[in-house]
A and B are shown apart, each in its own frame.
Chain A
Amino acid sequence: MKRRLVSLSGTMVLGLGLGLAHADDIDAAARIAAQRVAVGTCATCHGPQGHSLSPKFPVLAGQHAKYLVAQLQAFKAQTRGDPDALGYMWGMAAPLNEELMTSLADYYSRQTPIAGPTGGAALITRGKDIYQNGDSAAGIPPCGGCHGAAAAGTDDFPRLAGQHVQYVMKQLRSFQNNMRNVAVMHGVARGLQLNDMEAVATYLQALGP
């Protein structure tokens, strides 16, 4: 599987989702198998129906299937290198085959996302401004350019609405220091100060579907 670089224009993808089985191709048995794995294994960290309880683990409900498959492939290939990827997901993804990855991703993409807890008003205002308009002085482009105005994401860019503050901040720091080696996000996050990260993450957590 080839990796492709990512650009803000969206012509390149974050993930590796090439040659995926289409969701319509997933048969009933695969859906049942995915549900069983999701409820019996993934839910221990990612929560019921992908609504994780601990901010250490990302909310998966409503996440785009293609993005999820790309991440699972990156875990399995050990090309995603942030600390929790090493500690948890390299092992978890190792035995997954393409069919299960696809059906698991389909399962989570079908779950209904919800808004997370609301943070401080000042943080949300600042976060919304950065998300929508960027910060040209700091060289930060508007996040919504890729992730969508409502942070609902696309096939190639993840849904961020409703995601945990701590998880988003941790990923931004991982992009910043290249532990999670995604060139475009490294460029975006490079100029972000910690308080701005928190502001953007707080804004995103409170966003509903």
Chain B
Amino acid sequence: MQHAQWIRGAWILLLLLGLGLAAPVAKAVPSFARQTGMACEACHTVFPELTHFGRVFKANAFTLDNLKQVRDIDATKQELLSLATLPPLAAMVQVSQTWLNSPLPDGTGGPGKSQTSTVGFPQQISLFYAGKVAPHVGAMIQLTYGNDSGTIGIDNTDLRYANSVVLEHERSLIYGVSVNNNPTVQDLWNSTPAWGYPYASTNAGVSPLAGTEIDGGLAQDVAGISAYVMWNEALYGELGVYRSAKQGAANPITGAAGPLDGTTSNVISGVAPYGRVAYEYQWGRHNLEVGVYGANFKLLPGGGSVGTPAALSGPVNEFRDVAEDFQYQFVGDEHLFSLAGTRIHESMRLAASFAAGAVTNPSDDLTTIRVTGTYYYHRKLGAAITHFSTTGSVDSGLYPAGPAPGVITSANGSPDTKGWIAELNYLPWLNTKLSLQYTTYTQFNGGDNNYDGFGRNASANGSTYLLLWLTF
């Protein structure tokens, strides 16, 4: 009985959290350099962190170009076509080695242990189309092979239209629309989840149970459209909505890509609103951004199968994410420093899961805080340190204990996870990064010692990660 309850809890948990927690994170795209003729340093401090110029380039839909174009115009000189003679393609390879602090229990339930180290060769390979598509339209489309899935799939994608006008007193106003598949992937600062630190991390470690939806929980699982304005390259505002756009899901009756029914899990009911306001102030080589962002996702659990039907209607689980963020940058020729942080507060009203007996409380909350400081010397040698913390309501249904050593469990039903990431970086060239990253947990799934009830400590999930990251 206890085992069945655990299985059900784990299943609901997967439904609630989605599969986005292990989603690959940020990238840098050399095709932008090919298109603009400008070096990486124009848009990045060190990839993938954007400079002010990089943010404005993105807001302008990646359309600044200096390549020879195939053009067409009409009788009024209106541009009908402006297409680069060479497509803005780029690639990325990540090769890694991960050492876990402590081996995992053998999945067979026996006394054996897993290996502690994992080679990722490659951990990830990506192909990008990233650049101008038409005079005011640009795209960043990423296809990724990951060694965890062993397949190629769609990764972060952002299609944009943008234009600008000159206002009184020669202030600029950029306005545009983004169609994308990951809330915050369209954002301009590296303090928000999609492009936030850590820019790369192991996919052979142990991930904690809890994360907010806007923090990658729905990455590549949704489609959003948002309209934005940027005034005077300083004040940014955006409003949009997201709907589910499942990959690999099919209607069981037709076998076609849709419509979705109750056999699909975590489907957004209606549309989920998304909003963002940020202000960036520049002085000298410094700039400081402060902002807020948020979204409200109402998810239909679904997740039924032919044998156990679940209607894609009725009660929903609502996740209201409200977040604040900041980013300070000092961009010198010799020294570069940045400090970025975000605090995401998620209010959960879990009517659907509570009715199904899958959670203990009808409502929970979760708060994630991340603060990262980064330093580079001549864009060659760098170090970064991050403090991360996720805390929230105790809910033994949502964060269940396991019947046997299971690692991704919580003996006390708490999601509380805290720790540090320290990283050293060396870039012999601007598009080649060698990183050594150490992650340590002071608390994991609600405990520091014996968090799983079977003697595993939070520190056992720490890891050392060596990464070679090539973009070309």
Contact = CB atoms under 8 A, between A and B. Distances in A.
Interface string A46-59: 00110001111000
15 contacts: A39-B166, A40-B166, A40-B172, A40-B174, A43-B170, A44-B233, A48-B171, A48-B232, A53-B282, A54-B284, A54-B285, A87-B38, A91-B38, A92-B36, A92-B66
Interface string A25-68: 00000000001100111011100110001111000000000000
B37 interface: yes
Given A44-B233, A88-B38, A39 B285 contact: no
Interface in A94-116: 94-95
B65 interface: yes
Interface in B47-63: 52-53, 56, 60
A50 to B, nearest CB: 10
A130 B37 CA distance: 38
Contacts of A95: 65-66
B351 interface: no
Interface residues of A, number: 23
Contacts of B64: 41
B36 A91 contact: yes
- Interface bracket on B: 20 to 34
A88 B233 contact: no
A88 B42 contact: yes
A54 B172 contact: no
Contact of A39 (B170, B282, B284): B170
A54 B42 CA distance: 13
A35 B65 CA distance: 19
Interface of A: 35-36, 39-41, 43-45, 48-49, 53-56, 86-88, 90-92, 94-95, 170
Contacts of A40: 60, 164, 166, 172, 174
Contacts of A86: 39
Most buried by A among B37, B39, B284, B285: B37
Contacts of B164: 40
B333 interface: yes
Given A35-B170, A39-B166, A95-B65, 18 more contacts: A35-B166, A36-B166, A40-B172, A40-B174, A43-B233, A44-B53, A44-B233, A49-B170, A54-B285, A54-B331, A56-B331, A87-B38, A87-B39, A90-B38, A91-B36, A91-B37, A92-B36, A92-B37
Interface in B243-275: none
B364 interface: no
Interface string B287-305: 0000000000000000000
B238 to A, nearest CB: 19
